[in-house]
Structure 1
Amino acid sequence: MKSSKPLSLLTALATAVLVLSGSIAVPILCRPFYYAHIEAMSMPEYTGLTVDQIKQAFDEMLDFCLGLRQDFSVGVLPWSESGRDHFADVRVLFQLDLVLLVLSAAALVLLFLFARKRRLTPARLLGRGPGFWAAAGLAAVFLAVGALAATDFDRAFVIFHSIFFPGKTNWIFDWRTDPIILLLPEDFFRNCAILILVLLVFWCAVLIAADLLAGRRRKRQAVPPACPGCSGGAGQGDACK
Structure 2
Amino acid sequence: MNGRFEFIQWGRAILLTLLSLVVAISIALFIVINISPFFITIPKHLLGLSAAELMADYGNVIKYIQLPTQRVFKLRYLPIDPSAVHHFKDVKRLILLNEAVMLASIPLLVCGLKKQKRQNQLWRLILPFQMLFILLLFSGFMGITNFNAFFIKFHYLFFSNMDWLFDPRTTPIILLMPEKFFTVLFGLWLGFTLIILLLIWGWIKLMLRIFFNKART
Shorter-chain TM-score tier: 0.7 to 0.9
Q: Report the alpha carbon displacement of residue 122 of structure 1 after superposing the two structures with TM.
A: 6.0
- The number of residues matched between the two structures is 208
Is 1:189 matched with 2:201?
A: no
1:200 to 182, 193, 202: 193
1:234 matched residue in structure 2: none
The 2-side partners of 1:8 and 1:122 are apart by: 12
The 2-side partners of 1:15 and 1:110 are apart by: 12
Q: Report the alpha carbon displacement of residue 51 of structure 1 after superposing the two structures with TM.
A: 1.4
Q: Report the alpha carbon displacement of residue 135 of structure 1 after superposing the two structures with TM.
A: 4.1
Identity of aligned residues (%): 25
**Over residues 196-237 of structure 1, what are the superposed CA-to-partner deviations in whole Å (9 max), with x where a residue is unaligned?**
1111222222333333343333333333x5xxxxxxxxxxxx
2:163 matched residue in structure 1: 170
Is residue 24–residue 194 contact of structure 2 (8 Å, CA) maintained in 1? no
Q: Which amino acid aligns with 1:90?
A: V
1:37 to 29, 36, 39: 39
Structural mapping, 1:134-149, within 5 Å: 135-136=129-130, 138-149=132-143
Superposition TM-score, scaled by structure 1 size? 0.74
Q: Which amino acid aligns with 1:128?
A: R
Is residue 21–residue 98 contact of structure 1 (8 Å, CA) maintained in 2? yes
Q: Which amino acid aligns with 1:28?
A: I
SS at the partner of 2:29? helix
Structural mapping, 1:1-241, within 5 Å: 5=9, 8=13, 11-30=16-35, 33-34=36-37, 36-38=38-40, 41=41, 43-45=42-44, 47=46, 48-66=48-66, 67-111=68-112, 115=115, 120-121=118-119, 123-124=121-122, 127-129=123-125, 132=126, 135-136=129-130, 138-165=132-159, 167-223=160-216, 225=217
Greater RCO (Cα-Cα under 8 Å, separation 6 or more): 2
Taking a change above 3 Å as real, the CA distance of residues 112 and 150 of structure 1, as seen in their structure-2 partners, is closer
The 1-side partners of 2:23 and 2:64 are apart by: 24
Asked which structure has the greater CA Rg, the reply is 1
Is residue 144–residue 187 contact of structure 2 (8 Å, CA) maintained in 1? no
The 2-side partners of 1:90 and 1:54 are apart by: 20
Q: Which amino acid aligns with 2:55?
A: K
The 1-side partners of 2:201 and 2:154 are apart by: 28
Is residue 28–residue 192 contact of structure 2 (8 Å, CA) maintained in 1? yes
Higher helix share: 2
Is residue 57–residue 76 contact of structure 1 (8 Å, CA) maintained in 2? yes
Q: Which amino acid aligns with 2:119?
A: T
**Over residues 67-102 of structure 1, what are the superposed CA-to-partner deviations in whole Å (9 max), with x where a residue is unaligned?**
342111122111112111111110111001100110
**Over residues 33-66 of structure 1, what are the superposed CA-to-partner deviations in whole Å (9 max), with x where a residue is unaligned?**
41x235xx4x141524211111121121222212
Query: RMSD of the TM alignment (CA)?
Result: 2.8
Q: Give structure 1 stretches of 5+ with no counterpart.
A: 226-241
The 2-side partners of 1:107 and 1:210 are apart by: 16
Taking a change above 3 Å as real, the CA distance of residues 196 and 26 of structure 1, as seen in their structure-2 partners, is same
Superposition TM-score, scaled by structure 2 size? 0.81
